[in-house]
């Protein structure tokens, strides 16, 4: 049994908390800015109604065995306020966020385990969570990675331990980079069934591939076509988190999803005009 705190209970944080609660093996607490009413997650395996307690004031927190940070990247400062109270020398921190800068966002104060998560998830207007498929997480093959995987034993979530985390992170960023088109058009995933926008998505992904390779990721030439085919075969009404934030008038993670491609491209002398334009438009 472990004491686990989840910081940031949005769509992804809710899914992780729900899967941990189904194990029945942990003492779980949800750390949020505002009080939560009933939190319900509709999963492919049934409905989870969360029973874990909710904290809204970091000053009331005590050290836990594990802290899972699932805030948006732009709210890392807020997450650190929780870490100051939730962590001691024995606490392990897992950062479940978009992008490829998990460690950089919390260095040098915190040593974290980066987690890549793949689970189409949306928050409905009534506050409930729709989890469209099984949660798959990828972590490094380290002692911390093994311990993280053990937390989810008995749940429907799958944790994969991998040796090449750089490739896994940039592969996921390739997927996320194409989502900027939905955000720019304010339309769900079905918009990429349009031929012209599909070609644009392939161009955006190709820039991500070029930069990812320069960063050491092993990305093949066909990854863009696979991503586009996957999006087109999925639910056309699906909304990614970048689009959901834009539609709701919230801050967006465009820097973590497309801005990083531009920034790292500049470092390697690789042009990224499509991602640069997308970032500029969303920032405007």
Q: Which residues pair with 129 in a beta bridge?
A: 41, 123
Q: Which residue ranges form the domains of the chain, and what is each CATH number? A: 3-163 (3.40.50.720), 166-283 (1.10.1040.10)
Closest CA to 152 of 133, 168, 166, 138: 138
What is the mean predicted confidence (pLDDT) over 236-253?
94
Q: What is the pLDDT of residues 25-83, one digit of tens each?
A: 999 999 999 998 889 999 999 999 999 999 999 999 999 999 999 999 999 999 999 99
pTM to 2 decimal places: 0.93
pLDDT grade for 181, boundaries at 50, 70 and 90? very high
How far apart are the C-alpha atoms of 51 and 59, rounded to whole Å?
22
How far apart are the C-alpha atoms of 279 and 284, rounded to whole Å?
9
Q: Which of 172, 187, 218, 267 is catalytic?
A: 172
Q: What is the pLDDT of residues 102-159, one digit of tens each?
A: 999 999 999 999 999 999 899 898 889 999 999 999 999 999 999 999 999 999 999 9
- Active site annotation includes 218: no
pLDDT > 70 fraction of the chain, expressed in percent and rounded? 100
How many CA atoms lie within 13 Å of 88's alpha carbon, on the beta-carbon side?
A: 7
Dihedral angle sign, alpha carbons of residues 148, 149, 155, 157: positive
Q: What is the pLDDT of residues 196-205, one digit of tens each?
A: 999 999 999 9
């Amino acid at each position: 049994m472990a004491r686990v705190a989840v910081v940031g209970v949005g769509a992804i944080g809710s899914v992780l908390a729900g899967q941990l609660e189904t194990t029945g093996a942990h003492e779980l607490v949800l750390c949020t800015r505002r009080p939560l009413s009933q939190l319900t997650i509709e999963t492919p395996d049934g409905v989870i109604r969360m029973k874990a307690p909710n904290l809204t004031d970091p000053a009331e927190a005590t050290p836990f065995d594990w802290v899972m940070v699932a805030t948006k990247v732009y709210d890392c400062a807020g997450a650190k306020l929780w870490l100051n109270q939730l962590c001691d020398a024995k606490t392990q921190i897992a950062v479940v966020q978009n992008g490829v800068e998990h460690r950089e966002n919390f260095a040098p104060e915190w040593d974290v385990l980066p987690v890549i998560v793949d689970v189409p998830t949306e928050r409905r207007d009534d506050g409930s969570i729709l989890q469209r498929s099984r949660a798959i997480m990828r972590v490094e093959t380290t002692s911390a990675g093994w311990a993280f995987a053990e937390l989810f034993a008995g749940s429907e979530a799958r944790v994969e331990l991998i040796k090449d985390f750089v490739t896994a992170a940039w592969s996921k960023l390739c997927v996320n980079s194409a989502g900027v088109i939905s955000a720019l058009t304010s339309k769900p995933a079905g918009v990429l069934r349009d031929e012209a926008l599909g070609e644009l998505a392939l161009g955006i992904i190709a820039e991500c591939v070029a930069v990812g390779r320069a960063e050491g990721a092993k990305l093949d030439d066909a990854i863009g076509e696979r991503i586009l085919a996957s999006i087109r075969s999925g639910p056309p009404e699906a909304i990614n988190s970048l689009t959901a934030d834009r539609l709701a008038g919230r801050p967006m993670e465009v820097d973590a999803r497309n801005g990083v491609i531009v920034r790292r491209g500049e470092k390697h002398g690789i042009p990224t005009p499509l991602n640069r334009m997308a970032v500029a438009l969303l920032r405007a």
